[in-house]
Each structure stands twice: as C-alpha cells, then as structure tokens.
Amino acid sequence: MAPLRVLCIHGYRQNGSSFREKTGALRKLLKKHVELVYMSAPHSVQQASSEAPEKDNGPGPGPGGDEGSRGWWFSDVQARSFSAQQQCEESLGLDDSVAAVREAVRVQGPFDGILGFSQGAAFVAMLCSLQEHKLEPDFSFHFAILVAGFPSACKEHQQFYNPPLQIPSLHVFGLEDRVIPDCMSRELLPSFQDPQVLTHPGGHFVPAASAHRQAYQDFFKRFQ
C-alpha cells in the first residue's frame, strides 16, 4: 500500500527545512504509512526582538538551511510583521502564498492531504476553503491536519469561515500552549463540518509521542 502524501505548511518564522527538523519524531511515528513533503513560504520575515517565533519547546537548531525565517502573510502591512492576536482590516502577502502552494502542488504533487502548524494551520483552513469553493482547481486535498491552528483576526479573511468546510479534519493543540492558547484553536472548530480533535498536555509543537500514534493512525486509516 502506497503511503499517503501530505504537504506540510510550517509556522511563522520557520521554513520548510526547520519544520522538517522539528517534525522528525512525527515522521518516525508515521513512517511507511505517510510521506511528509515540506515547502517554504514565499515571504522573508525580518527578525524583531518583540516577536516570539513559532517554535516548539524542545532544544534544537533554529531555522534550517539558507532560507531563513518565512511567513505566509503579514497582519501589519506597514511593519511586515504578524501576530495571531492582531486585529486588522487587510493583510499582505496571502495571494503570493496561495500561488506558492499552487506551484508546489503542480511540481511536487499530487497530495492526499495537507498539514499546517500555527500560522500554517490557519493558512491550511483558508486553502481548504478555496478548494471547496472551487477557486483552486489544482487543489485536491482529501483531508487536513491543523496543529495549533486559529481563525485569522483579519477582517478580509472572514470569507474563509462560512459555511462549515466539508473536508475531514484533525485539529491538534496543546493545553499548555502559550503562543496559540487552546481556546484560540477551539475557535476554528466550528469552521469545519466534522472536526476530529487530538489534545495533548504540552505547549506549542507538533506532538508525536507513542501515546498519539493511535489517534493519527485512526484518522489516516480513513484515506488509505
């Protein structure tokens, strides 16, 4: 049985290489069953001392490779920065990021599903909405996994959250997450018709302990 191919969308101020490093335990947990394919966001992010990066709580190198810190969109158009809590009328860069995913699907696809972390998970919800409204004919994801996701606080993004999305989804979040508190992740659940939920006692990272294997496998089993 061929493994499921899943496109992985990193968090703000990560990149494809660093996210691959951070999800090594998940790849090991899912090996033989799932192939995780990584891409990087098109926008470079300037380092700002006031911003907390979206990283896990464990040790390890920072952003990997030569790509540096990347983001999918900016909530502060002038400063070219992003905060999940920032209310804004319009954002900067989302269209370029959708185009980058479209290109990744054409070049590296097809993909069975899509996985996003933090800002990447918020972006995945938007991509699923575009797919369901038939605005992106190249997209054919059968499922979505959203880790530490949240609904965008940007007014122009509200179009993505109504009506509930039909795509099967697994929502994963940590009860001790201080970057994206679990209450923010729960706010995304009503945007999906039948959301499956996996909570863990930790913080802002993709959980991949043996205790989580069954929940992931049960979800993936529906698509194999």
Mean pLDDT by 10 residues, the chain (224 residues): 94 97 95 95 80 45 65 93 92 96 97 98 98 96 98 93 93 97 96 96 96 94 92
pTM of the model: 0.91
Q: Yes or no: say if 171 and 149 are a contact pair by the CB < 8 Å rule.
A: yes
Task: Write down the pLDDT at residue 54.
Answer: 52
The pLDDT assigned to 1 comes to: 79
Q: Which of 177, 185, 191, 200 is catalytic?
A: 177
Distance CA 125, CA 204 (A): 18
Q: Please give the pLDDT value at position 56.
A: 46
Q: Is 118 annotated in the active site?
A: yes
Whole-number pLDDT of residue 63? 44
Let me know if 204 is a catalytic residue: yes
Q: Which of 157, 171, 200, 204 is catalytic?
A: 204
Catalytic residue among 17, 18, 69, 118: 118
pLDDT of res. 48: 62
Q: What is the pLDDT of residue 28?
A: 94
Which H/E stretch holds residue 182? helix 182-186
Q: Please confirm, yes or no, whether 138 is among the known catalytic residues.
A: no
Q: What single letter denotes the amino acid at residue 73?
A: W
3 state SS of 104: helix
Q: pLDDT value at position 66?
A: 59
